[in-house]
Chain A
Amino acid sequence: MRAKIGKWTIWILALSGTLISVSIFALAVGSTSIPFTEIVEVIFKGKGTIGHSILFDLRLPRIVLGFAIGGGLSLAGVILQGMFRNPLVEPYTLGISGGAALGVCLNIVLRLPDKIGIISFPLFGFLGAILVITIIYLLSIKRGILRIPTLLLTGVMVSFIASSLIMLAMAITRTEDLHGIVFWIMGSLAEADWWLIKAMVLVSIISMVISYFFSLDLNALSLGEEEAMHLGLNIEKSKRLLFLISALLTGCSVSIGGIIGFVGLLVPHFMRMLVGSDHRILLIASFLGGGAFLILCDTLARTIISPLELPVGVITGIIGGILFIYALTKKEMMFWGK
């Protein structure tokens, strides 16, 4: 027991260390590179210098947002994988991201931000996500119709439908709104509003804390739902709440950063190999690891073809898509059986 706690503490420290080093690295590199020693100098000099505004107005917001979205999407991935007992489900593959994107797009087309303020972005993202999740919940869990392959196919189809509808919206929208949609659809952490960033950080951290209270439920769920009930857990209640958390995390992430696919697949996958499948450590590890991963991807995205920028979704999509196909073909990686 003590050995286990010791091991977990070391993992948490190591991952926090990774997160901090990646953040410092991300602060330092870019089209104007600012070495670490200079960063300290710039901080002491205070406001007004160019270095200061590059660090605190351009790079720091992206790092904070990368942490919140990366952590949030990974957390949503672990939760969904725990509930469906399959390592291939995550917000993107289930079509939840697509639903959220459609919601946000509608919001832009209807010009709601002008009417009810910037909160309409996460609000509509959440509504889109919860719509898809409710459909999945009703089809797969309540009526037991969807098996995992069907579930993944349905997810892909939902994404297709959502992106077609987004294109439809783009075709009939006014040119001045078009820019907003295109810009946001690319999936990027750049130029996000500080208020939204703060909201995202808050949502991520609160979701992390709440879902941790369900880590034992998720552990028990790996035995199957009936077994979890035999262990005295109110599975229906936990599942509803966990679905709500996944929808909230996905909806907010998509509404701020666009569709960033496969983070919720990649990160939990590697974390499971590192720390094991006990959700008491897996949730924290994926949260920290996901934050570090997305910050790193974003740093790559903005430096690889500098001064131009790649959407960060391109990088996670390429890495994640390849891993997804690899995992599909390899049986022993489907640790949750059929």
Chain B
Amino acid sequence: MLEIKALTCGYQGKFFLQNINLKIDHQELVGIIGPNGSGKTTLLRAITRIIKPQKGGIFLEGKDIWLLPLKEMAQKVAVVSQNLPVDYLTVEEFVLLGRIPHFGRFQFLETKKDVEVTENALKLTGIFSLRNQCLSEISEGERQLAFIARALAQEPKLLLLDEPTAHLDIAHQIEVLNLIKRLNRALGLTVIIVLHDLNLASEYCQRLVLLKGGKVFKNGLPEEVLTYQVIEEVYNTVVVVEKNPLSSRPLVLLVSGDIKKEEYERNHYDNWR
């Protein structure tokens, strides 16, 4: 689906991402994690052609994205960004904007199909009943769902999300991620999702890509990436990694500064024996 080959890019001469190699298959749900400033959002921006690669390239279904027409690209790749300044639109008007890539040059009005696809997107995300409300009137969680609905209106094959759970309470975090997983399974969408929360990433993603200082530090199953050695090295923070008793995915626990790690380990292993 998407292949990133030896990608080096950055802002105004400074290199931010260095020699990134990444392959994402059809229908995968891949999480991108890493500390602040490790290049997660930059990687998304490179995939969406906001930043031009200095070296290497990005290939969508085998074709260099910089050789694809913008419009064709927007029919295949949709992005859910953070914080859009769009308070004055109604939910439906906002989601309809996602149909723009499918408009012809001399087409000004939505066709029947555009309206149908939009309605579907609203129903899939469960905000159909809110369609006539202003974006400023709905809650943060509902706004996030509206952003996803707009991306779905593009009928993409690849969906990119930049921290869709930021500023949400746990119920809305789960709601948003359940939706994304459902879309991945039911519609066969390939999903790349940038997440800050390691436990959410562990629960929902099939594969994790851990970035550090603009490089891929680790790439693999959640069990392989989320070990305490790796996390401590990348984040410089003491953590304990357990298993979620229900899903048996890795569960990262934070430890406050006063509790010495050695102490914990000793007690831990004592109990074990």
Contacts and interface: CB of A to CB of B under 8 A. Distances in A.
Interface of A: 1, 5, 85, 212-213, 215-216, 219-220, 222-224, 226-227, 229-234, 277-278, 280, 335-338
B75 A232 contact: yes
Given A1-B110, A219-B97, A335 B50 contact: no
A86 B210 CA distance: 39
B87 A230 contact: no
A232 B85 contact: no
A231 B98 contact: yes
Contact of B78 (A224, A230, A234): A230
Query: Which range contains the number of B residues in contact with the other chain?
Result: 35 or more
Contacts of A215: 108
A215 B70 CA distance: 18
Interface of A is mostly: loop
Contacts of B71: 232-233
Nearest to A222: B86
Given A216-B103, A219-B97, A232-B70, A1 B115 contact: yes
B254 interface: no
B97 A231 contact: yes
Contacts of A85: 85
> Among A224, A230, A232, A233, which residue has the most Cβ atoms of chain B within 10 A?
A230
Interface of B: 45, 48-50, 69-75, 77-79, 81, 84-89, 93, 97-98, 100-101, 103, 105-106, 108-110, 112, 115, 154
A277 B89 contact: yes
A5 B97 contact: no
A226 B162 CA distance: 13
A226 B49 CA distance: 9
Contacts of B72: 232
Contact of A224 (B84, B101, B110): B84
Contact of A232 (B73, B87, B88, B89): B73
A226 B100 contact: no
